[in-house]
Amino acid sequence: EGMNFNIGDIVWCIDPNNNDGRYVITYYHRPCEVVKVRKDEIRVKVLDENDDDFEFWVYGKFFQRVKSKATVI
């Protein structure tokens, strides 16, 4: 079962409790942009941080695409 993510997609974590430490920064409904795609993983950039270094490889199965950038409140 392949992932259907593309570079530029906006995604968020749908299963933050099933994590290995890499998902803390991408906690539930924190918007991220897909910047790279591998077979089972995607590299995401957290969108609500000013630091451009907030990028992480994560398992795509824990993420879903969102229709547009969410507003963080």
SS (HEC) of 19-72:
CCCCCCCCCCCCCEEEEEECCCEEEEEECCCCCCCCEEEEEHHHEEECCCCCCC
What CA–CA distance (Å, rounded) separates 9 from 64? 10
Split at pLDDT 50, 70, 90, the class of 1 is very low
What is the structure's pLDDT at 21? 60
pLDDT digits (tens, 9 = 90+) for 14-69: 875 665 666 666 666 778 899 999 989 999 998 876 666 688 898 898 889 987 65
Tell me the pTM: 0.73
Neighbours of 67 (CB within 10 A): 6
